[in-house]
Chain A
Amino acid sequence: MDLGLNEQQELLKNSAREFLENECPESHVRDMEEDEKGYSPVLWQKMAEQGWHGLLVPEQYGGAGFDFIDQMVLVEELGRALVPGPYMSSVFGGAVPILEAGSDAQKQEFLPKIAAGEVIFSLALTEPSARFDEAGIQAKATVSGQDVTISGTKLFVSDAHVADYLVVAARSGKGVTLAIVPTKQAGVKTTVLQTIARDKQCEVVLENAKGQLLGTDGGGWAALGPVIQKYTVAECAYLVGLAQMDFEIAVDYAKERVQFGRPIGSFQAIQHKCADMVTDVDGSRFIMYKAAWSIASGQPANDTSIAVNMAKAWCSEATRRVVAHGQQIHGGIGFTKDYKIQLFYRRQKRAELAFGDADFHRELVAQQLGL
């Protein structure tokens, strides 16, 4: 029993923080909000050189072979720095599904390139129904040997406009089936949506798009189970880092901002908000790591499942409370575009919604508790 980081994790955390403070300052985050691609290929390559894209990828496929808890330590730092770009898409929407369902040939082909930052992947899961369950997958897949042809509309696909490949979930006669679909083909049309977080979520229209089978025909939903779990916990980790930073900014502001001749942080009305913020941030961190530990250490499937749902239910709500307090503590200045706190407020919503908000996961918790 120990809820602290080990030495390697401390090292990873500290080096990531230092790297991102230099390479991903607030100005970069702002620039990328208005950038067409939404990320900097230069920073992307530097991150790859740090070994981050392949952190989870086994060494035989060109990765670092770290475990899932280590990976969450890094994602927490990405959330803290609000790193723009397709990192989550490529790692959790590309490397992870290939690791879960790919043939050895597919692992050989794609994982080293993902780890090196040479290709970008994204997961095309949700559709206009905006559902996260199996019934939400309605795009049509036709499977012939290893070849898959897909038609349908995928919606809220992160970074599809810069992705080289999409892992697409579609429905064949045998059920949900996954395919690796190159984006540079006539049958794939991508439109970027303008979103609250100014990230790059896309509508992807597939018209007889050609791809290769990932896993088995009809085996897609089973293969997606662990992928969605890991992606969900990663979104929690991103939220933890984001909320931690929002909270730190707010506390610093409360120490500096003077009204009635004293720092507003000396007023209990502000102090108690800050106390509630640290409780929510810490609570989020541990419930996220509990789920990550459950995955990493291979706890029984039922335990892992409810741990993931509990983590996303809690983190979604608790971090929302944190960023709301962050805004309130800042007063009017926080509502301006120029001040940094709003960057966190807007991005919290994206991650809160990703893979289901608290209402979605709470219902699943209730079901698993037998309520």
Chain B
Amino acid sequence: MDWSDSPEQAKFRQEVRTFIQQKLPESYRPKAGEATGEDEGFTGGWQADRKSTDPKRVATAQQWATALAEQGWIAPAWPKEYGGAGLSTIEQFIYNQEMAEAAAPSVGGMGVSMLGPTLIVHGSPEQKQEHLSRILSGEVAWAQGYSEPGAGSDLASLQTRAVRDGDEYVINGQKIWTSGAHFADWLFALVRTDPEAPKHRGISFMIMDIKTPGITVRPLINMGWEHGFNETFFEDVRVPAKNLIGEENRGWYVGMTLLDFERSGIAGAVSYRRGMAEMKEFLKGNGKSYRRQDFNTTRLELADRAIETEVLFNFAFRIVTIQSRGLVPNYEASVNKTFGSELHQRLSRTQSKAWGLYANVWDRSSKYAPMQAAHIHDYVGSVPHSIFSGSNEIQRNVIATRGLGLPRG
């Protein structure tokens, strides 16, 4: 058992740190006394910047993407033959940990994390040729169309219909929670191609230009009044048949494909620890004027959150240990997701509690907002974390049945 780096790991860690130190654009660096929060993903960060109306933000996003591309680090986990860095799982882990430590925005989004790996395994040579390089250059951003209003946890019951018509499929239906579709250029989606087959066996995996006539992306504003996800409607959308990935009706299995990505979720643990450190610094200075009078209970709750963050770190280390040994995590990944998301919610509750009435203030620029209202934003922003990527109820079912062998209900 060893919590420290081997010499090779320490060397790679230093390499990543030096790169960040030299190449991370100034405006992406945390400012002293400000809360960094999490990588904002679909409401801010690289995805939003590259489509911003502010030319400076566009330039910064391009500068960061170029720096990463030159280093070959847009897709750290992809095999080298496809333009990835081909990093081992432990190197990916260190890379992800250091990027999170620096609060550096990730580049490439779902193209790197989901569509690329799927194409690498299931795509035709032409499909790989057309799409992989454009992900690696940061030229094309992808969005995912899986969930539907009637297909959430029971995703395989999805109803969006694709009917073959000559060299095309004609798609009708609706997707929901299409995060970042308003910043995306292309969409990958699960659609029903055989309504008669058992539900998992009549689904196909399709890709399409999001500008294809008949696709309408409509904003869904979340409870934090932010535009992160959307509803996406399909009305007689004609998609070339060559945009089918893998075999027709095998889309469910194509969509489940996983590459050898590290799956520790280390970035969350890092951001919680950093958030705690930032709060501690703030409490030493200006924070005193916002701090509630009866702070001691909150103080002890903060200690608990710090302890739980260590537990989450260990869960992350466990995953990378399993993967480094060439094994595939079973229920352990569900433990990380469940524990991490619930810790996120507890942490933001505890942190915002420290400010008493000041926790009301939502306006980040208000003089009455402690730490730019980061904690109360997180209190709202963490709500969906126990819901997306498989709700925590589904995760607990997975732990119990797949992990512990309890009988399915």
Residues of A within 8 A of B (CB): 1-6, 9, 69, 251, 254-255, 262-263, 265-268, 270-272, 274-276, 278-279, 282-283, 286-287, 289-290, 292-294, 297, 310, 313-314, 362-363, 365-366, 369-371
Contact = CB atoms under 8 A, between A and B. Distances in A.
Contacts of B284: 370
B406 A254 contact: yes
Contact of A263 (B300, B335, B407): B407
Contacts of A369: 276, 280, 302-303, 306
30 contacts: A1-B9, A2-B2, A251-B404, A251-B406, A255-B405, A255-B406, A263-B406, A266-B407, A267-B409, A268-B400, A270-B406, A271-B399, A271-B401, A271-B409, A275-B399, A275-B404, A279-B335, A286-B314, A287-B314, A293-B1, A314-B311, A362-B300, A362-B307, A363-B303, A366-B300, A369-B276, A369-B280, A369-B302, A369-B306, A371-B299
Interface stretch (B61-69, B117-125, B219-227, B316-324): B316-324
B321 A3 contact: yes
A313 B338 CA distance: 21
Interface string B317-346: 110110011000001101100110000000
B34 interface: no
B409 A283 contact: no
Contacts of B9: 1
A305 B390 CA distance: 38
B214 to A, nearest CB: 40
B154 interface: no
Contact of A265 (B324, B396, B407): B407
Interface of A: prevailing SS: helix
A287 B283 CA distance: 27
Contacts of A3: 1, 3, 314, 317-318, 321
Given A268-B393, A362-B307, A371 B1 contact: no
Contacts of B401: 271
Contacts of A5: 1
B320 A279 contact: no
Interface residues of B, number: 51
The 7 A-B pairs at the shortest CB distance, nearest first, are namely A271-B400, A286-B314, A275-B399, A275-B396, A366-B303, A265-B406, A266-B407
B15 to A, nearest CB: 16
Given A69-B1, A275-B399, 19 more contacts: A1-B9, A1-B324, A268-B397, A272-B396, A272-B397, A272-B400, A275-B400, A278-B399, A279-B338, A282-B335, A283-B311, A287-B307, A287-B310, A290-B314, A310-B306, A310-B307, A369-B302, A370-B280, A371-B303
Given A1-B320, A3-B321, A371 B302 contact: yes
A338 B282 CA distance: 56
A254 B405 CA distance: 10
Contacts of B306: 310, 365, 369
Contacts of B311: 283, 286-287, 314
A292 B3 CA distance: 11
